[in-house]
Amino acid sequence: MANQLKIDIVSDVVCPWCIIGYKRLQQAISELKGEIEFDIEWHPFELNPHMPAEGQDAIEHITQKYGRSLDEMKAARAQMAAIGEQLGFHFYQGDDRRVYNSFDAHRLLHWAKSQHKQTELKLALFAAYFTHNLNISSHEVLLNSVEEVGLDKTEAADILASDQFKKDVQEELQRSRAMGIQSVPSYIINQKYLLSGARESQDLVAGFRQIASEAA
């Protein structure tokens, strides 16, 4: 009988390393098929909690937040795009990218968990933002992603029009901060072990095997 691991992923839909990290996680899970079974749950993190609805130019935002030069940003973007292509994920490379608030996306992801479509919606949102360069704070964009994965668009619209799940998301954000999580992606394994960063798949495989052997 295969060992079982619960992985709680703390991430933001506007974090490029979060989709890279998940693609690497998928590789690790595939390699461990038949050896370890995984139960995955997503949890919110806000990289830009105070971002206004209209968002901010990505180059301007990164310059202000991280102090990088334009050349440094272009080099980092090219590196990220190359990693993404190797993992089967395409990053939009235009200069008109913007950074947006992701709180409403997290509300829908909280709801999608009860519909057993959380991972599907998360991946659709990653694609909407990073591949198609869409405004992830736009309710229209969010609802299109909901429809894309077969969730109830009317129910999702009702959620967005209300404060439903707002408190739940805020409590989860607070819980992550209380655990000392300051960067994403972060993986909490069996509610005991914390792995931070978009680890290479082989590092994840080794870590999961060690944790599974200790839990056996």
Domain assignment of residue 111, given as a range = 3-215
Number of domains in the chain: 1
- What span, in angstroms and rounded, lies between the C-alpha atoms of 187 and 42? 9
**CA–CA gap between residue 156 and residue 160 (Å, rounded):** 6
Mean pLDDT, range 127-150, rounded to an integer: 99
pTM: 0.96
Summarize the confidence of residues 57-80 as an average pLDDT: 90
* pLDDT value for 53: 82
Residue 209 confidence (pLDDT): 96
The CATH number for 110's domain is 3.40.30.10
User: What is the C-alpha separation between 12 and 14, in angstroms, rounded?
Assistant: 5
Query: Is pLDDT at 1 greater than 80 in this prediction?
Result: no
For residue 42, the surrounding DSSP H or E stretch is strand 36-44
pLDDT value for 215: 79
Q: How far apart are the first and last CA of the chain?
A: 11
**pLDDT computed for residue 65 by the predictor:** 86
Instruction: For residue range 169-182, list pLDDT tens digits in order.
Output: 999 999 999 999 99
**Summary mean pLDDT of the chain:** 96
- Burial bucket for residue 129 (CB in 10 Å: 0-12, 13-18, 19+): buried
User: Distance (Å, rounded) from C-alpha 1 to C-alpha 10?
Assistant: 28
